[in-house]
Amino acid sequence: MNEFLEKEEQVLRMLKTVFDPEIPVNIYDLGLIYNIDLQDNGLCTIDMTLTAPSCPAADFLVEDIKQKVASVEGITDVQVNIVFEPEWTKDMMSEEAKLELGFL
């Protein structure tokens, strides 16, 4: 596996360890991560959304993402952009998340 794909896989693994405190499913499987952009200089930019615009855990989630993704070797900086387009729906969740939350 080439170095870039390995780093991307490590970032995904870290994102799967970030949980909304009120939902027992990680943010990646919830479908909250819209885009991950890794640059050659080590900058990782992540576009994500929230399950609701007024999510009280937003600051916690952003900081948790920054800390965990920054721990990946070769990542020099992490920027997290909160976006609301497209609007999040339950259809964006993985099958595992739907099963865990009783939607299947």
Convert the pLDDT of each residue in 41-93 to its tens digit: 999 999 999 988 888 899 999 999 999 999 999 999 999 999 999 999 999 99
* 94/50 Cα distance (integer angstroms): 15
Confidence tier at 20 by pLDDT (50, 70, 90): confident
Domain 3-99 falls in which CATH fold?
A: GMP Synthetase; Chain A, domain 3 (3.30.300)
Q: How far is CA 102 from CA 24, 53, 72, in A?
A: 12, 23, 33
Query: Does pTM surpass 0.95?
Result: no
Per the DSSP assignment, residues forming a β-bridge with 43 are: 77
| 73-95 b/e (C-beta count within 10 Å ≥ 16 → b) | eebeebebeeeeeeebeeebbee
Give burial (CB, 10 Å; 0-12/13-18/19+) of 57: middle
